[in-house]
Amino acid sequence: MTSADGTSPEPAALPASDSSGTAPLTSAQRVSAVLRRAVATGLVGEDQPVAGFLDTDGIRASVTSLHAAFAHAPEVLHTFAVKAASLTPVLRLLAGLGMGCEVASPGELRIALDAGVAPSRIVLDSPAKTRQEISEALALGVAVNADNLGELRRIDALRPAGSTSVVGLRVNPQVGGGSIGAMSTATATSKFGVALRDPGARDRVVRAFADRPWLTRLHAHVGSQGCPPALIAEGVAETYRLAEEINRTLGTRQITSLDIGGGLPVNFDGDETRPTFAAHTRMLGAAVPGLFDGRYALVTEFGRSLLAKNGFIGARVEYVKEAGGRRIAVTHAGAQTATRTVLMPDAWPLRIGAFDAGGDPRTGAPLCQDIAGPCCFAGDVVAHGRELPELEEGDLVVLYDTGAYYFSTPWAYNSLPRPAVHGFTTGRSGSVRLTTVRAAQTLDEIAAESGLAHVDALVSLARPPGD
């Protein structure tokens, strides 16, 4: 079966049957098995009403499929976009699977290094790098993609002699946006990169390379969710043509690598993976016939497409109520951990699963229900009018496909604690192994973050001098 974008769906990663003929668990069976184990061990329940879960087997399978899709490229560094899951144990797992890291802040650089990622396998991207950030990256040997020509001038002054850092320039091919404007980074007025179609910009880029023999990489990223693969391919093609033009103009192969970004969108309306990495590379090869011939080393920066389908949120139903004839289940998973879904529900809809207090799937006739969160504003609803088996107090709801950008980077609204995150693996018989990736935030930690150590600071400042 072929989808509207011309790609074939790929089933979600599942364990294969063994020689005994044991059938693999379905995705729903795995989730239920994990929930049952989490309830039995107290990881989800009245005392811990919300938690995130990551499928380590699924993550391994996704990375394997990425490497396989690019296997025909002679030289490629796959980096993981740390913002998609800024959890040190996740980065350590990915590093062991051959992944580097794409970082966009000092904090992300720190946790990538803490995870054991070699500086030479880290790429620093950010539109607002300070001189200190640039100096640290260049001293470590981290690759740096300058966002603009002004940043290149900073690098001129800061780059130490003999630096091993690869330095690139991010360009905006201005090929247009996708269906989610906030996720589209190649629009006419995007804040990212040098806008190539602006008057004189292309010539300025060529001159920037001519003046800096150490500037050897071009970088472009069209966007992510909502950007169709064809648009991403168009942006890569424009970047490739620019690299060819610069090298031809300079009469030498100064540009030796292309950072083609990531951004492959995720299918949130089913278990299948669509589009696949293999379909993506086929589309890239058709749009840019020379991309994989070894003329340029490649760097990728995938995030959501590696992690989203390999995680879910489990949350307790605290109350069930009626309002205006609508059934509302008030849960502990809302805007604090599903921020984009709550604030932009049409752009970021999530599938919801209904389970009983023990973790078994709820059965019964579907009932139209709202799934609300714990935040103190009326819009904190993760799903409106969903047809689900009737939920009761103490039941559990599951927010599927939330392995990236959800529980890993929560919003501290209402001083709600960051949820615990657990990794899991499942056996064919339904056995589950769980491990803690991040412990739930304590009230003492919230108090410390709120400035407890300086509790009298404003009071003392308000006293008249000399009192």
Q: Catalytic residue positions?
A: 376
* Structure tokens, 133: 């950030």
CB within 8 Å of 320: residues ≥ 6 apart: 327, 328, 329, 330, 391, 392, 393
Residues in CB range of 459: below 8 A, 6 or more apart: none
Cβ contacts of 92-96, under 8 Å, gap ≥ 24:
92/116, 93/56, 93/59, 94/59, 94/63, 94/306, 95/121
Rounded Cα–Cα distance for residues 285 and 131 (Å): 38
The backbone torsions φ and ψ at residue 151, rounded to the nearest 5 degrees and listed phi first, read -65, -35
- The CA–CA distances, whole Å, from 228 to 15, 377, 414 equal 30, 33, 36
Strand, coil or helix: what is 215?
A: strand
Q: For residue 317, what are the β-bridge partners?
A: 331
Question: Burial letters for 12-43: b for 16+ Cβ neighbours within 10 Å, e otherwise?
Answer: bbbbeeeeeeeeebebeebbbbbbbbbbeeeb
DSSP three-state, residue 195: strand
What pairs with residue 103 in β-bridges?
124
- CA 260 – CA 77 distance, rounded (Å): 11
Amino acid, res. 221: H
For tokens 């690299």, the residue is 243
- Torsion angle, CA of 242/245/249/253, rounded to 10 degrees? 80
How far is Cα 218 from Cα 166, in angstroms, rounded to an integer? Answer: 11
Tokens (6 digits) for 339: 């921020």
Rounded Cα gap, residues 244 and 209, in angstroms: 12
Tell me which residue has tokens 């760097």.
299
Task: Locate 351 and state its tokens.
Answer: 């599938």
